[in-house]
């Protein structure tokens, strides 16, 4: 998929040995939100390298680097338990600060949906981050009505994207 400037967005599967790089990118990408909301227990920017390593070992977790050509711009984790009947989950997705606001996350999500199927997805995001909410809503995700207050600054809101054969 291409951006408006013609640059190609691709996703590349990550391997176990990519844990350190994923962790460093995740820490950088979420740094500003961590400082703003001080959600130290829930923010991916405050997670340990061990948590990333453990997720990479899960047979239902798929990490992808989000690339502009060959340059890594971020990453996304997909939880896909395949035939379990559960929704697929995006948790987390992040784009490095210098690449944000260019439509890269949207293209990466579309690529993940092509790989893992277009239907039955879920995710959560910060309710106060209207740009994030707008991104997911324009991609067909709908708020479930469920929220979780993390602290006096931050509330998580939950989204889902259902299949066409479900009501």
Kindly state whether residue 16 falls inside one of the protein's structural domains: yes
- In a domain? residue 129: no
Residue 165 within a domain: no
| Domain assignment of residue 74, yes or no | yes
Q: Are strands 9-13 and 71-79 parallel, antiparallel or unpaired?
A: unpaired
**What token pair was written down for 11?**
């996703």
What range does the domain containing 40 cover? Answer: 9-118
pTM here?
0.93
Asked whether the beta carbons of 132 and 109 are under 8 A apart, the reply is no
Write down the pLDDT at residue 163: 75
Residue 3 lies in a domain: no
151 within a domain of the structure (yes/no)? no
pLDDT tens per residue, range 89-120 = 999 999 999 999 999 999 999 999 999 999 99
In a domain, 153, yes or no: no
Give the sign of the dihedral formed by CA 73, CA 129, CA 119, CA 90. positive
Rounded average pLDDT over 14-32:
98
Q: Structurally, how many domains does the chain consist of?
A: 1
4 within some domain:
no
CATH number, residue 61: 3.40.630.30
What percent of the chain clears pLDDT 70, i.e. is strictly above it?
Answer: 98
CA distances from 53 to 49, 136, 149 (A): 6, 27, 28
pLDDT digits (tens, 9 = 90+) for 33-78: 999 999 999 999 999 999 999 999 999 999 999 999 889 999 999 9
pLDDT at 69 (0 to 100):
86
């Amino acid at each position: 998929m291409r951006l408006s400037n013609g640059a190609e967005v691709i996703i590349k599967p990550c391997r176990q040995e990519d844990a350190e790089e994923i962790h460093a990118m995740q820490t950088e990408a979420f740094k500003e939100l961590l400082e703003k909301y001080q959600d130290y227990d829930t923010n991916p920017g405050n997670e340990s390298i061990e948590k990333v390593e453990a997720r990479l070992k899960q047979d239902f977790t798929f990490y992808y680097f989000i690339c502009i050509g060959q340059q890594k711009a971020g990453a996304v984790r997909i939880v896909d338990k395949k035939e379990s009947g559960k929704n697929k989950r995006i948790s987390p997705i992040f784009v490095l600060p210098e690449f944000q606001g260019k439509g890269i996350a949207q293209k990466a999500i579309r690529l993940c949906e092509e790989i893992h199927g277009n239907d039955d997805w879920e995710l959560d995001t910060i309710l106060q981050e209207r740009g994030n909410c707008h991104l997911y809503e324009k991609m067909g995700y709908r708020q479930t009505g469920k929220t979780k207050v993390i602290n006096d600054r931050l509330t998580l809101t939950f989204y889902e994207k259902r299949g066409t054969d479900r009501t």
